[in-house]
Amino acid sequence: MAESTVVIESFPVGPLQCNCTILGDSATGEAIVIDPGDEISRIQARLNKLGLKVKQILITHAHIDHVGGALKLKRLTGAPILLNENDLPLLQMMEQQAGWLGVDTPETEAPDASLQDGMTIGLDTLAGQVIHTPGHTQGSVCLLFAPLRLLVAGDTLFAGSIGRTDLPGGNSRQIIDSIHSRLLVLPEETQVLPGHGGLTTIGEEKDRNPFLTRR
């Protein structure tokens, strides 16, 4: 039996501790990076250590803590940035977003492509699908890697909670609808890697998440 060649590393970055995820294939030496919000030199050091070259930079939504380091990583790696087009207004509000946190405004530019619902992303050997889940923001997406039984959920679904909807583009009715119609229909054993905090599963959230069990 061949050893598994899949590399999954997720670690919190920046003042808001956004989970940045490296998903790689050690056989091909290729990787994608999801939500490089900050601490790009640390992310780059991990990639170097793992011997992985970045092919895509995927952004679950355009909040500063998720997208703040994307352009820096693109300049270091040459990899394209993908972000759903409905979050372009938020991307253009970076100065205001930095003001909310009292941090310097990171440089940004328009993404290279939009993350469209149903689109295949990732590596040839490690492909995923985009699930558009508006509500936290209008361009929020989750990324499903079905063969790995892994959902990277951004700020849509957390262990025991859901994303806030009081920021521009947020809609509380819509996030609940997105989670029920697009996420809770996934296999219960699917591991959920949220944008902040620890891992959970679809089954666990279906049973116990107080925001989802009360309707």
Residue with tokens 């229909």: 185
- Using rule CB under 5 A, residue 140 touches Zn ion: no
Position 155 contacts Zn ion (CB under 5 A): yes
First to last CA, the chain: 47
Q: Which is nearer to Zn ion, 4 or 96 (CB)?
A: 96
- CA distance linking residue 177 with residue 104, whole number of Å: 35
Looking at the Cβ atoms of 39 and 155, the one nearer to Zn ion is 155
Q: Is 26 exposed, middle or buried (0-12, 13-18, 19+ CB in 10 A)?
A: middle
Minimum CB separation of residue 135 from Zn ion in Å reads 11
* 31 vs 93, beta carbon nearer Zn ion: 93
Stretch that binds Zn ion, among 37-45, 116-124, 152-160, 177-185 (CB under 5 A): 152-160
DSSP 8-state code for residue 104: P
Binding test (CB under 5 A) with Zn ion, winner from 46, 55, 63, 72: 63
Stretch that binds Zn ion, among 2-10, 102-110, 154-162, 176-184 (CB under 5 A): 154-162
**Site membership for Zn ion, residue 74 (CB under 5 A):** no
- Among residues 55 and 66, whose Cβ is nearest to Zn ion? 66
- Kindly tell me which of 25 and 155 has the beta carbon lying closer to Zn ion: 155
Spatial CA neighbour of 200 closest among 181, 180, 184: 184
CB of 166 to Zn ion, least distance (A): 11
The residues, ordered by sequence, that sit 6+ positions from 2 with a Cβ below 8 Å of its Cβ are none
The reply to whether 39 sits near Zn ion by the rule CB under 5 A is no
CA distance 54 to 169: 30
Q: 53 and 30 in contact (C-beta within 8 Å)?
A: yes
Size of the site for Zn ion (CB under 5 A): 2
Q: How far is the CB of 138 from Zn ion (least distance, A)?
A: 12
| Residue 51, both tokens | 């011997």
Q: Are strands 150-154 and 157-158 parallel, antiparallel or unpaired?
A: unpaired
Q: Which residue, 63 or 74, has its beta carbon nearer to Zn ion?
A: 63
Contact residues for Zn ion, defined by CB under 5 A: 63, 155
